[in-house]
Structure 1
Amino acid sequence: MDRSPRYSIDSSSLMHGWCRVYRPKNFGFIWDRIEALAVEGRLSASIEVLHEISKKDDELFKWCKARQEALFVEVDDACQAHLARIMAGYPRLVDTVKGRSGGDPFVIALASSKGKSCSVVTEEHPGKMRIPDVCRAEGITCIGFADLIEQEDWRFA
């Protein structure tokens, strides 16, 4: 059985990485490796993450759309069961007033459905019921984009 780490990535990490820290012009190799992880089946995102990213029809959305089959997964029965449990246990996770964070429970449910070797990748910080808070309560490892790079031992050469 493959014990390589697996990742469920949040829109915040994709947007933060693409727009602020690891811009493709200078860090294209990182995005090549993100794509390779997706093709290997080790990094995935809920289709809800793509829906969040689609709100800005920008270069990140185009990049994601071109890799939709490898990177994004539909909600299957296993994920749906975890999603229902998470939504029931943490109703404040989704901000229905502001219409934000709709993908957050899907990111956590995807990681939960993949087992203990799957970490959530997000740029959110603990606060008033955010992804890291639910991950901590659920025993799911929660890391940032930079942590994923370090964990995978990607280096400049």
Structure 2
Amino acid sequence: MPKIPKYCIDTSSYITAWCHHYSPAIFESLWKKVGEALNQGIIISPREVLDELERGSDELLKWAKLHKAAFIELEEKPQKILSEIMKSHPKIIDLSIPEIQADPYVIALAKHTDTIIVTEEKSAVDSKKKLKIPDVAKNYKVNCVPFSKLIEMEGWKF
């Protein structure tokens, strides 16, 4: 039986962890644990995160597709939260980018499921261009942590 989700992971954390900090060639056991957590429903992400990963078309995408069930479509209630986010924080997306951007979906899903957002984005309150996940999530009382903190919070040892 799946557990209640605890974390909602943003695209930035998957990419940064996989490509820059925790290469699966070296940290194979870490990615096995992340995969297990995805399969158990402890870690979730909105479908739009998988869409963003598809733009890379690499080994990370192949791995993510093995856990496709953890990338979920937003239902009615989180869709309402998403609409509210877009209305009150339109700078959460960069209008110069034509593709769907996952950030508001991550926040909406995390708020709806009462989970912690895992993101590598840092606060940029004064940004003229685009708001960052931590800045908007704060307004919805959703906590954000980096991927390394997820490992620590789960007590994973290697």
Structure 1 length-normalised TM: 0.91
Name the residue aligned to 2:151: 149
| Contact 2:5–2:44 (CA under 8 A) maintained in structure 1 | no
Name the residue aligned to 1:133: 135
Name the residue aligned to 1:17: 17
What displacement does 1:65 show?
1.2
Name the residue aligned to 1:119: 116
What displacement does 1:98 show?
3.5
Name the residue aligned to 2:66: 66
**What is the CA–CA distance in structure 1 between the aligned matches of 2:5 and 2:101, rounded to whole Å?**
25
Classify the secondary structure of the residue corresponding to 1:120: strand
**What is the CA–CA distance in structure 1 between the aligned matches of 2:12 and 2:77, rounded to whole Å?**
24
Q: 1:71-118: per-residue Cα shift (whole Å, max 9, x none)?
A: 211111121111111111110000011447711000000100102xx1
| Contact 2:4–2:41 (CA under 8 A) maintained in structure 1 | no
Map 1:91-110 onto structure 2 (within 5 A). Answer: 91-99=90-98, 102-110=101-109
**What is the CA–CA distance in structure 2 between the aligned matches of 1:114 and 1:152, rounded to whole Å?**
18
**What is the CA–CA distance in structure 1 between the aligned matches of 2:100 and 2:122, rounded to whole Å?**
13
Which letter does structure 2 place at the counterpart of 1:147? K
Structure 2 length-normalised TM: 0.90
What displacement does 1:56 show?
1.1
Which letter does structure 2 place at the counterpart of 1:105? P
| Contact 2:110–2:117 (CA under 8 A) maintained in structure 1 | yes
Higher alpha-carbon deviation: 130-139 or 98-107:
98-107
Which letter does structure 2 place at the counterpart of 1:76? E
Which letter does structure 1 place at the counterpart of 2:84? R
Tell me which stretches of 4 or more aligned residues in structure 1 moved more than 6 Å: none
Gaps of 5+ in 1: none
Gaps of 5+ in 2: none
- Give the helix-richer structure, 1 or 2: 1
| Contact 1:94–1:100 (CA under 8 A) maintained in structure 2 | no
Higher alpha-carbon deviation: 10-19 or 38-47:
38-47
| Contact 2:78–2:108 (CA under 8 A) maintained in structure 1 | yes
Aligned-CA RMSD value: 1.8
Q: 1:26-85: per-residue Cα shift (whole Å, max 9, x none)?
A: 11111111111112211101000000000011000111112112x211111121111111
Name the residue aligned to 1:53: 53
